[in-house]
């Protein structure tokens, strides 16, 4: 099992560690110290050696940070974690509602003029520190330091050191050397001599490698410098990279050599202000090397999957769909008997995925929420919150797998027994949004922001909505959340062929039920139609039945109903050869026309 359901922290651990940190702060001459959740690579998951926030405070959410002074220890968390933080941290910590309260004003409120605030420059991006400096002005001094938490973290785990493995060309679709030449051309075109790469998925994509350094996200933690002549310097334990084999264009050196290598560059060097640690730009500035601020050059090319990656995604999704169908058939058989819990379901689902014998990892912690727990958007079931799935309740399951040929992410909402009219109406409105995105076709310059409303219009008309984006980018056997593509009110990057996205509208009634329906989709050039304008549309990758017991057929437009029936026919066609027995019988029933 990849996923466990036991708590990894407890509130009692915090106060003595907080006291030790405050002593270290005092000793080093700092009045405050910032403890982010991030590591130097700004990813969603961090290795145990970088779980400083959880170690110090007990809070295990996937986003947040702490600001520690001698008098107050603020734990900044967003709306998702308001309840969780109360259960996880001791009274010595003060939860702060972020982003309503921002760090700068909070520091100004709690500190005297002239106080010194320490931060680890490897754990904060340039943009983050620049924003904070603007907010505190001359009143406080922000000073970079070695990490004070690490000084007092005696039993800190060693950094991960899993071997890298090659992402075969069959799945990657483009040779690493060709990618490097392509990225180098971008740098040359911009008049830049090199780019600093600090995002593990950029580096893994560029070098066609994958790793096991952190859970859920099959990357190697490393830094890299891409030169405008297409050579790469890679910084991480050299022993990790035996699988790469020797390449005269790739120099591998320990991570400890990274800083020194930066000082030897000639400018202008491209640095991404949103993702690179501010330590990088500080080192370059100290060495008087010109910085060219710009996006990590790999981000956009990585987002636009090539034919091999799309073919891999199709196959990974069908394999995953077969596991989902087995799970759904099992669920429909077991749930009505009563007694099934959220953990039982999550465990069974992981078992079906593992049964494909190709599962490398799950792609994120499964969200398995029954009844009111389904309304908690980022719910993670633990032994403490585990709930039986009851008759008449909705059950929401959001999960995915990492396969060599692709990353999946799917949500289905199921009913046990007979749904209420209200559940049916809300489900149908969510489904209408999901169909609107699935069938969307649009001119080439359209971005996520321009179509987000299509997913919400049916809910909006009924005075309903959901407080999250409609879709996020998804990597190719990489991060299940990747940019720059997304579908949301703040998504300004135009869609391009090959971008994989989720399509996941939802509706959440607090204390009652949660609904979300999610397929992955990939942007493609639309077929010739109508006036043959240069349009893009989405190919659906996910083929798993949608619970037809929750659909109000009489609310649908004829074309929406056609879409459901056509979708289910394709599901049956594509997946029936991959399941047997009861699962096959269930599939045939679940995909009948409505």
Residues in the site for a copy of itself, rule: CB under 8 A? 436, 439-443, 445-446, 449-454, 456-457, 459-465, 489, 509, 526, 528-533, 535, 554-560
Query: Closest distance between a copy of itself and the C-beta of residue 521, in Å?
Result: 15
Closer residue to a copy of itself (CB): 122 or 507: 507
Helix axes 581-590, 307-334, angle to 10 degrees: 100
Closer residue to a copy of itself (CB): 214 or 487: 487
Closer residue to a copy of itself (CB): 224 or 451: 451
Closest CA to 423 of 519, 338, 547, 334: 547
Structure tokens given for 5: 């359901």
Backbone angles phi, psi at 127, to 5 degrees: -60, -40
- The contacts found for 280-285 with CB under 8 angstroms, 24 or more apart, are 280/126, 280/196, 280/198, 281/126, 282/121, 282/144, 283/259
Beta-bridge mates of residue 227: 194
CB-CB neighbours of 26 under 10 Å: 11
Query: Closest distance between a copy of itself and the C-beta of residue 449, in Å?
Result: 7
Beta-bridge mates of residue 523: 538
Structure tokens given for 275: 């993702």
Closer residue to a copy of itself (CB): 3 or 432: 432
Query: Closest distance between a copy of itself and the C-beta of residue 29, in Å?
Result: 41
Closer residue to a copy of itself (CB): 444 or 578: 444
Query: Closest distance between a copy of itself and the C-beta of residue 556, in Å?
Result: 7
Closer residue to a copy of itself (CB): 220 or 436: 436
Closer residue to a copy of itself (CB): 113 or 532: 532
Indicate the pairing of strand 73-77 with strand 94-97. parallel
Query: Closest distance between a copy of itself and the C-beta of residue 84, in Å?
Result: 23
Helix axes 558-575, 581-590, angle to 10 degrees: 160
Query: Closest distance between a copy of itself and the C-beta of residue 253, in Å?
Result: 46
Q: Which residues of 45-57 are buried (b: 16+ CB within 10 A; e: fewer)?
A: bbbebbbbbbbbb
Query: Closest distance between a copy of itself and the C-beta of residue 534, in Å?
Result: 10
Closer residue to a copy of itself (CB): 125 or 438: 438
Cα–Cα distance for residue pair 431/497, rounded to 1 Å: 25
Closer residue to a copy of itself (CB): 186 or 491: 491
Sequence-ordered list of residues with C-beta below 8 angstroms from that of 247, at least 6 positions apart, any chain: 176, 177
Cα–Cα distance for residue pair 153/37, rounded to 1 Å: 15
Structure tokens given for 345: 């379901």
Indicate the pairing of strand 250-253 with strand 291-293. unpaired
Query: Closest distance between a copy of itself and the C-beta of residue 444, in Å?
Result: 12
Query: Closest distance between a copy of itself and the C-beta of residue 575, in Å?
Result: 26
């Amino acid at each position: 099992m990849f996923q466990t359901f036991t708590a990894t922290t407890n509130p009692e651990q915090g106060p003595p560690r907080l006291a030790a940190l405050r002593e270290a702060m005092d000793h080093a001459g700092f009045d405050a110290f910032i403890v982010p959740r991030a590591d130097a690579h700004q990813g969603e998951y961090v290795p145990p050696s970088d779980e400083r926030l959880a170690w110090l405070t007990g809070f295990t959410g996937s986003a947040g940070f702490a600001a520690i002074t001698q008098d107050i220890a603020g734990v900044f968390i967003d709306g998702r974690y308001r309840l969780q933080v109360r259960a996880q941290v001791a009274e010595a910590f003060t939860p702060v509602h972020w982003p309503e309260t921002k760090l700068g004003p909070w520091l100004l409120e709690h500190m005297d003029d002239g106080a010194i605030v320490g931060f680890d420059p490897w754990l904060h991006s340039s943009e983050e520190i620049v924003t904070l400096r603007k907010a505190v002005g001359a009143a406080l001094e922000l000073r970079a330091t070695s990490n004070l938490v690490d000084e007092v973290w005696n039993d800190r785990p060693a950094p991960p050191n899993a071997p890298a493995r090659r992402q075969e060309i069959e799945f990657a679709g483009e040779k690493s050397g060709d990618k490097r030449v392509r990225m180098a051309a971008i740098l040359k075109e911009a008049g830049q001599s090199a780019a600093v790469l600090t995002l593990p998925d950029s580096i893994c994509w560029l070098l066609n490698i994958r790793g096991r350094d952190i859970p859920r996200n099959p990357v190697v933690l490393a830094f890299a410098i891409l030169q405008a002549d297409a050579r790469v310097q890679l910084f991480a334990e050299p022993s990790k990279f035996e699988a790469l084999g020797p390449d005269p264009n790739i120099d591998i050196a320990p991570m400890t050599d990274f800083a020194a290598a930066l000082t030897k560059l000639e400018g202008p060097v491209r640095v991404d202000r949103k993702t690179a640690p501010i330590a990088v730009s500080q080192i370059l500035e100290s060495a008087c090397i010109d910085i060219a601020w710009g996006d990590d050059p790999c981000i956009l090319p990585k987002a636009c999957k090539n034919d091999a990656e799309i073919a891999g995604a199709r196959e990974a999704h069908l394999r995953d769909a077969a596991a989902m169908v087995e799970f759904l058939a099992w669920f429909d058989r077991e749930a009505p008997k009563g007694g099934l819990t959220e953990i039982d379901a999550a465990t069974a689902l992981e078992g079906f995925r593992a049964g494909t014998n190709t599962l490398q990892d799950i792609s994120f912690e499964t969200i398995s929420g029954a009844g009111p727990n389904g309304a908690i958007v980022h719910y993670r079931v633990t032994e403490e919150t585990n709930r039986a799935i009851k008759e008449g309740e909705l059950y929401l399951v959001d999960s995915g797998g990492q396969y060599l040929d692709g990353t999946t992410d799917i949500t289905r909402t199921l009913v046990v027994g007979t749904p209420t009219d209200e559940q049916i109406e809300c489900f149908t409105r969510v489904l209408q949004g999901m169909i609107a995105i699935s069938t969307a076709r649009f001119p080439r310059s359209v971005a996520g922001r321009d179509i987000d409303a299509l997913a919400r219009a049916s809910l909006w008309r009924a005075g309903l909505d959901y407080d999250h984006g409609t879709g996020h980018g998804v990597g190719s056997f990489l991060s299940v959340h990747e940019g720059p593509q997304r579908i949301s009110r703040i998504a300004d990057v135009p869609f391009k062929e090959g971008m994989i996205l989720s399509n996941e509208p939802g509706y959440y009634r607090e204390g009652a039920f949660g609904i979300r329906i999610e397929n992955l989709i990939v942007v493609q050039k639309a077929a010739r139609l109508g006036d043959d304008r240069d349009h893009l549309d989405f190919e659906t990758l996910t083929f798993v039945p949608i619970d037809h017991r929750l659909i109000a057929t009489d609310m649908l437009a004829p074309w929406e109903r056609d879409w459901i029936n056509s979708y289910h026919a394709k599901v049956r066609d594509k997946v029936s050869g991959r399941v047997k027995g009861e699962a096959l019988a269930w599939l045939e029933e679940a995909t009948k026309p409505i």
